[in-house]
Chain A
Amino acid sequence: MYKIVRKRTLNPTVVEMCVDAPRVARRAEPGQFVILRTDAHGERIPLTVADYDREAGTVTIIFQLVGATTMKLGAMEVGDEIHDFVGPLGRPTETAGLSRVAVVGGGVGCAIAYPVAKKLHGLGVTVHSVVGFRTRDLVILEDEFRSVSDVYKLMSDDGSVGEHGLVTDALRALIESGERYDEVIAIGPLPMMKFVSLLTKEYGIKTVVSMNPIMIDGTGMCGCCRLTVGGKMKFACVDGPDFDGHEVDFDEAMARAAMYRPFEAEAREHVCNLLKTGGAE
């Protein structure tokens, strides 16, 4: 059992939790993920490590309340215990040899992009962060990003905060203004990562994306998380989750991500009702 030691609400649908998991904290690196189950009957869901404290033995996760499991998790409080919390899984984000990087985050993906930016900043790398949200109320980790970024560009779809536009608009503007990057690291919704990759391909800038497909075991056993990268089948859980954005078949990934959507909608409805009536454990 893994105790929740801190919890804060980052925006109406995004929650940050700090979990007591010393063995996970010991080896965790940015880019890796954990698999958790809220209770003994729960499903296994992957969540990327948002932060870790090796001394305190804690791991931070940030998640959006989108499905039944994240809603159940969101309803848990400090002192409650998460039934299973496995990790660190997957390969860490490669940071060696970089000197100028643009980190692009979209929505809750910023939760994963932030530790990468923080690590790069700590290594003395010049970090330009380009983050985008639908609207002002959804902005997360602004102070955190600013503190590790040489340039911070905040974009919103509706113009209610930062600049009006998409992250690709800001990234293109930076590149057009003469900024040069060894690498772009893009983390966010699949369409965002797809369009960032298309943009950087025009300019020939290496781009790494963090894929977050449906998983069960997270150890290479089921093949549920398979993707096509450079025409070859890859398992995100063991070969990734980071991949070359210019090689990923995003359209296929988007179709696969939609596979259980009807089931998820039904399960979410069910959990909503349980939470409303106070019937959840």
Chain B
Amino acid sequence: MPNMQVKKTAMPTQSAEERARNFDEVTLGYTETDAINEATRCLHCKNRPCVSGCPVAIDIPDFIAEVAVGNFDGAYDVISKASSLPAVCGRVCPQETQCEAKCVRGIKGEPVGIGRLERFVADRHNEKKHEIKKPVPNGHSVAVVGSGPSGLTCAGELARMGYAVTVFEALHTAGGVLVYGIPEFRLPKSIVSLEIENLRALGVKIETNMVIGRVLTVDDLLADGFECVFIGTGVGLPKFMNIPGESCNGVFSANEFLTRVNLMGAYRDGADTPVMHAKHVAVVGGGNVAMDAARCALRLGADDVTIVYRRGEEELPARREEVEHAKEEGVAFRLLTNPVEIIGDEKRAVRAIRCVKMELGEPDASGRRRPVEVKGSEFELPVDCVIMALGTSPNPLIKSTTDGLDTERWGGIVADENGATSRPAVYAGGDAVTGAATVILAMGAGKSAARAIDEYIRNK
């Protein structure tokens, strides 16, 4: 008989007042009792709708069944057949639009907390040290460019098949967006470094400070003896609005702000890298990155932080949970509002942001209702810092230095469902192909590409 509790088993979290002042993880994870209780809410539907909602098709009811009987190692084995980064995905996947959106329990009440259970299982597994057996080498080598979710997954899959894999990372630390983008309070860096240590234990070589396209090109890698190259370089280039005043001091791309805070650790006292501790902050945009930037600004000591977003609450692209967390912590939301100018003082430092009110018109190409300016509704918001979280596009460095690599007009690399590009032996996946998406989709792409690379090399 399933547990008919209507709501998800609550996950302990730091209180909003407390966490808004520290960078520690917001949610604290289930206890064993919580996890078993939540697992018994699963109805084990015959048609398994939740699995169809998972981009990498984890056997969700099977792992939940193991949790329900307290076999957490068994649950981990089920998940790890499909996913290589469960501790990460359990935290950052948008479950409410994926697996949990399909959960039958969600019709009358809340869906099963699949993400919370995944996280519990992964954390539980990571508490213990596991011996990693080095696979038998198969004598072939592959280069992976970029160490974000797609690159790490592709590298791990190939290493397990016996390939000698070298990952080339442009920054000084591996992890890509998991390290420079997602803040500590949402994804502790110790989780990412554990995943990377596990890869190293599998025999994967990680070379940092390697900007492919500058230090070496994709063709150099192929000439140096790598039989295939996987490109998982993500979407690193920040967008700006092209409105007056964007060069004022105190205007940052979310990438810059988050990189200073996360990768460079600028939030810590005595850090070598500075970050502005602004008092009145506007964050422009409504995605997860905007929420991350807003919540970081708050933790750095801002008196007020306002999300400025041109569409409405319904259209906010961020995960529901992130929006809720941000609100609880005191982030203000100015929805249906669009900046038109950033106003600087005599030293070109931000003094205010001039905005205009919007209303929703007809649906646009994305299916969302297009925001239209309300005439005469301009107003000024006094701020000393503006963070632009408007999305990112692919870095053109690889495209411009790799002959014969086809790209879309917006810069994305053209690749089929297995990651094969227009160049033989060159595969690509993740955001560099799809544009900004999720960790789990990038992971899935890394995995399919690994299979395709294996097939390509075996059939050579």
Contacts and interface: CB of A to CB of B under 8 A. Distances in A.
Interface string B241-283: 0100011010011011001100011000001111000000000
Nearest to A69: B272
Nearest to A226: B247
Contacts of A44: 172, 264, 273
Given A219-B236, A233-B246, A256-B247, 11 more contacts: A37-B172, A43-B273, A84-B172, A86-B170, A88-B215, A216-B264, A219-B214, A219-B397, A249-B247, A252-B348, A267-B274
Nearest to B258: A222
Nearest to B247: A252
Interface of A: 23-24, 27, 37, 41-44, 68-69, 83-89, 216-224, 226-228, 233, 238, 249, 252, 255-256, 258-260, 263-264, 267
Nearest to B216: A23
B73 to A, nearest CB: 35
A68 B208 CA distance: 24
A260 to B, nearest CB: 5
A86 B272 CA distance: 18
A222 B255 contact: yes
Contact of B253 (A83, A88, A223, A258): A223
Contacts of B172: 37, 44, 83-84, 86
A87 B215 contact: yes
15 contacts: A23-B210, A41-B272, A43-B272, A43-B273, A86-B211, A220-B396, A221-B236, A222-B253, A223-B253, A223-B255, A224-B253, A238-B396, A256-B247, A256-B348, A258-B249
B236 A238 contact: no
Given A24-B215, A219-B395, A255-B249, A41 B265 contact: yes
Contacts of A264: 274
Contacts of A217: 170-171, 259
A263 B273 CA distance: 9
Contacts of B246: 233
A87 B216 CA distance: 10
Given A43-B272, A84-B172, A87-B214, A216 B238 contact: no
A61 B118 CA distance: 49
Contact of B215 (A23, A223, A256): A23
A68 B272 contact: yes
Given A86-B215, A256-B249, A221 B255 contact: yes
A37 B171 CA distance: 11
A263 B216 CA distance: 36
B240 A223 contact: yes
Contact of B170 (A83, A219, A259, A267): A219
B6 interface: no
The 7 closest A-B pairs by CB, nearest first: A222-B256, A255-B348, A43-B272, A263-B274, A223-B253, A43-B273, A221-B236
Given A27-B214, A43-B264, A222 B208 contact: no
A41 B269 CA distance: 12
Given A84-B208, A228-B247, A216 B256 contact: yes
A216 to B, nearest CB: 6
A86 to B, nearest CB: 4
A233 B211 contact: no
A136 B120 CA distance: 68
A85 B211 CA distance: 11
B347 interface: yes
Instruction: Identify whether the interface residues of B are mostly helix, strand, loop, or mixed.
Output: loop
Contacts of B274: 43, 260, 263-264, 267
B374 interface: no
Interface string B389-400: 000000111000
B237 interface: yes
Which of A27, A85, A217, A224 is packed against the most chain B CB atoms within 10 Å?
A217
B71 interface: no
Given A43-B264, A255-B347, A260-B274, A89 B214 contact: yes
Contact of A216 (B259, B348, B396): B259
B436 to A, nearest CB: 13
A9 B431 CA distance: 46
Contacts of A89: 211, 214
B126 interface: no
Interface in B192-221: 208-211, 214-216
B256 A224 contact: yes
Contacts of A218: 211
A220 B260 contact: no
Interface string B331-366: 000000000000000011000000000000000000
Contact of B259 (A27, A221, A226, A249): A221
Contacts of A221: 180, 236-238, 255, 259, 395
A260 B253 CA distance: 16
Interface string B157-172: 0000000000000111
A119 B260 CA distance: 36
Nearest to A262: B274
Nearest to B253: A223
A44 B260 CA distance: 10
A171 B273 CA distance: 39
Given A228-B247, A233-B247, A255-B249, A27 B215 contact: yes
Contacts of B249: 255-256, 258-259
Nearest to A23: B215
A141 B237 CA distance: 38
Contact of B397 (A84, A238, A256): A238
A219 to B, nearest CB: 5
B237 to A, nearest CB: 6
A185 B215 CA distance: 26
A41 B271 CA distance: 7
Which of A218, A249, A259, A267 is packed against the most chain B CB atoms within 10 Å?
A259
A219 B256 CA distance: 12
Contacts of B272: 41-43, 68-69, 267
Which of B237, B242, B253, B256 is packed against the most chain A CB atoms within 10 Å?
B256
A125 to B, nearest CB: 26
Contacts of A43: 264, 272-274
Contacts of B259: 216-217, 221-222
A86 B208 CA distance: 9
